[in-house]
Structure 1
């Protein structure tokens, strides 16, 4: 069966006004309904890639396709209706007086009726467990609460694709776990989830397909089996091997473990032991 590509960035190049080359002939295809990870150090082009996926930036060279349809520059402006983005710093995204007003902003701009807007907002608040905060000013929220409201913003718009830029950064373990539970529910509903991060341990345990970036290019791509065995290329991208793989390879070499495939998480590793 032929793979369904929901989003395709073809040979994209982009220079910032100061002359910095952010993307250099970038070519990526996003499979529908999967969990995609863009891994790379700061400055590798991950965030700039996201802004092209969302239509905030227009490619200076190259083309953008959505569900197989090539988008004109004018059409790419409307990608925000299909591709929601959750920024690394929630304060960049949140600006309304109250949580309810914040979450209702997107659906209102989609031209939905008041009744539809209310329905979308209530569903988004329930999904992210922020209903009790709906009348609270956004600037009084904690970091974890702001992150959940940022996600509710996008859920209320019901976009097909959700981009998350460094989603776990600055979150404590409790809030990071809550975030992952929300993402898992979205994945079950068929949403296409795309994350950028330099946290290889989180990425390895979560992603279905990986793009390793360096200096505005894709250095390596593939499934976790294909990508994380390329240790030399990971080091070239200034990325470490996930700790769980280091333990696995060490035990394998010493003959202390037999496993049909590398473990993805601590639970799988413990099963092998």
Structure 2
């Protein structure tokens, strides 16, 4: 079956006002209904790419397509209704008095009725496990709670694509696991998820399609088989081979396991053993 692409950034170039070149003829396609991961060091252009996907930044050169429709210029505001973004720092996204008001802001601005807004907010709170926090002031939330409310913000607007910029940064393992469980449920509902991270192990176990970025461009792209076998290119992007894959290859070389499909997580590796 031919792959469908929901978002297409074609030859995007963007330079910030201070003269910093952030993207240089960037070309990426986001597969519909899949989990796509952007990996790369700081300054490689991941966040700037996300801001173009969401329409918050206008490309100085190049074009943006959403399901085949060119939204590069005047129509790019339509992206806000289709593509939601969860920022790296939740404090830059949250501003309302309490959790309920925060999550209701998006649907209200999209023109939904009070009844529809309430329905969307309650569904989003339940999906992100923050229903019991709805009356709590936003500034009293923990880091993990703020991240979940940020995701609920986007869910209440029911965007087809959800962008998550470094969503696990500063989260402990427990809250990271909770967050990834929420994302998995969203994926099962058919959402297209796009995540940026420095955590190569998280990326390897979670993603379906990968973009490795370095110096404003894509260095490598493809499935996990395509990408994580390219050790030299990973090192060029200051990334390591995922630990699970490293252990599997070590065992394979010593005849401890058979040449099976490379495991994606600890559970799959243990089954092989």
| TM-score bracket relative to the smaller structure | over 0.9
Aligned-pair Cα RMSD in Å: 0.8
Deviations 1:114-136 (A, max 9, x none): 10000000000111111111111
- Matched with 1:184 is 184
- The whole-number CA distance in structure 2 between the counterparts of 1:248 and 1:137 is 47
Q: Is the 8 A contact 1:259 1:272 kept in 2?
A: no
- Matched with 1:255 is 255
- The whole-number CA distance in structure 2 between the counterparts of 1:2 and 1:231 is 29
- Matched with 1:91 is 91
Give secondary structure in 2 for the equivalent of 1:80. Answer: helix
Give secondary structure in 2 for the equivalent of 1:42. Answer: coil
Unaligned runs of 5+ in 2: none
Q: Does 2:60 correspond to 1:48? A: no
- The whole-number CA distance in structure 2 between the counterparts of 1:259 and 1:35 is 26
Quote the offset at 1:259 in angstroms: 3.6
Quote the offset at 1:245 in angstroms: 1.1
- The whole-number CA distance in structure 2 between the counterparts of 1:150 and 1:78 is 21
Q: Output aligned runs, 1:186-225, within 5 Å.
A: 186-225=186-225
TM-score for the superposition, normalised by structure 2: 0.99
Unaligned runs of 5+ in 1: none
Aligned length in residues: 273
- Matched with 1:77 is 77
- The whole-number CA distance in structure 2 between the counterparts of 1:11 and 1:105 is 34
- The whole-number CA distance in structure 2 between the counterparts of 1:138 and 1:3 is 40
Give secondary structure in 2 for the equivalent of 1:156. Answer: helix
- Matched with 2:238 is 238
- The whole-number CA distance in structure 2 between the counterparts of 1:129 and 1:270 is 31
- The whole-number CA distance in structure 2 between the counterparts of 1:70 and 1:57 is 15
Q: Output aligned runs, 1:1-273, within 5 Å.
A: 1-273=1-273
TM-score for the superposition, normalised by structure 1: 0.99
User: Residues 245 and 101 (structure 1 numbering): CA distance in 2 closer, same or farther, change over 3 Å?
Assistant: same
Deviations 1:109-168 (A, max 9, x none): 110001000000000011111111111110000001101100100000000000000111
Give secondary structure in 2 for the equivalent of 1:106. Answer: helix
Give secondary structure in 1 for the equivalent of 2:213. Answer: strand
Quote the offset at 1:78 in angstroms: 2.6
Deviations 1:55-112 (A, max 9, x none): 0000000000000011141111231111000011100100000100000000001100
Runs of 4+ in 1 over 3 A off after TM superposition: none
Deviations 1:15-45 (A, max 9, x none): 0111111001000011100000000011100
